[in-house]
Structure 1
Amino acid sequence: MPTVARLLTEVFAPAVPAAVLPVVIGIHAAGPVQGLAWGLLASTFCALIPYGMIAVGVRRGRLSDRHIGVREQRTRPLLLGLLSVSVGLTLLVLTAAPRELVALIVASFAGGVVATGINHFWKSSIHTGVLAGSAVVLVLVFGPLLLVIAPVVAAVGWSRVRLRDHTPAQVIVGAAIGATVAGVVFSLLR
């Protein structure tokens, strides 16, 4: 079972939905060419740059691992990630990106702010937060049929507990934050 848990944790690491979802929403909102361009721009600032900063921190020995398992090490990378997302959001607004994509990135930023605040004091699961928020956005955009992805969020939560990276409460709080913030902010702005 640890192999399955590790696989789920890696395949659905926060950088993955943070990189894929903006492309999906961009293409949905603006078509394959422009939507892909805007989606890739958003992915660069919401996933690639933040994950790159984490990778550098791990390589230099400043961070324990790419999932930042030590809570006390999370604040700085999370704040730098928020800075990157805000730069990407500014570029999206300046280039007149589709409203739906901008709403997604604002929701991502808002979720990041809440998660960063909580993680300064307590280690909630960012894996389940990002994945639950992504699932809610997909359901809002493509309809209730995509509720079939809800078990994936639960499976990733199980993997985080199974690997002893989080407690059940940390997983549940992470998912609740991600789903609630994404649902409310995305719904209001789209």
Structure 2
Amino acid sequence: MKKWIKTSLLAGSLLLYFWFILRSDNIINALTKILIVALLLLGMESMRRDKEKTFILHSDMKHIKKMDQIEFVEYIASLYKRLGYFIDLIKSKEELGCDLIARKQQEVVCIKCISGIEEVGLLPLQQVYGSKNLYKANKSMLITTGYYSEKAKQFAKANHVELVDQEKLMKHIMKVTHQKHVVQPSSNTQEV
């Protein structure tokens, strides 16, 4: 169903619900209220399913690699929300080395997202590692649609920066979408 139709149905149901509440209470009104609440819940569930379908449709590596930087950061934020994290988007004009702060229980993760680069070098890792203290995180992570250079891997290992390349990213996506088959990566390929 089209989004505007669902939104109209939801708004109409709410209006009817409040109209019936203001009217006299009898058995017919009570049943009507229950029916309207049920319709509201169905509408909300339908909207949630549409969001889930959209997320799944955009979850193949070919599509992800075509995303610009802002879309990629928003996609990663959505992915980590689905993995159970609370997400703070970092919206700053200055490059502070971090795009997202992900929180789950006692874990606070400073995440930098990089799309469109086939091999990530040292500089982004140094940036995300340096921003860890700035955002009071206890972990730093770099997520990319590409791979990491050997020097980047050595730096990450020595400084405990978690690296998520396209293969590990696809594993996270499959975990969230519960899909048995997702397009495999190609071999060459709150404001703060």
Higher percent of residues as strand:
2
Q: Same fold (TM over 0.5)?
A: no
TM-score, normalised with respect to structure 1: 0.34
Q: Which of the two has higher C-alpha Rg?
A: 2
- The answer to which structure has the higher helix fraction is 1
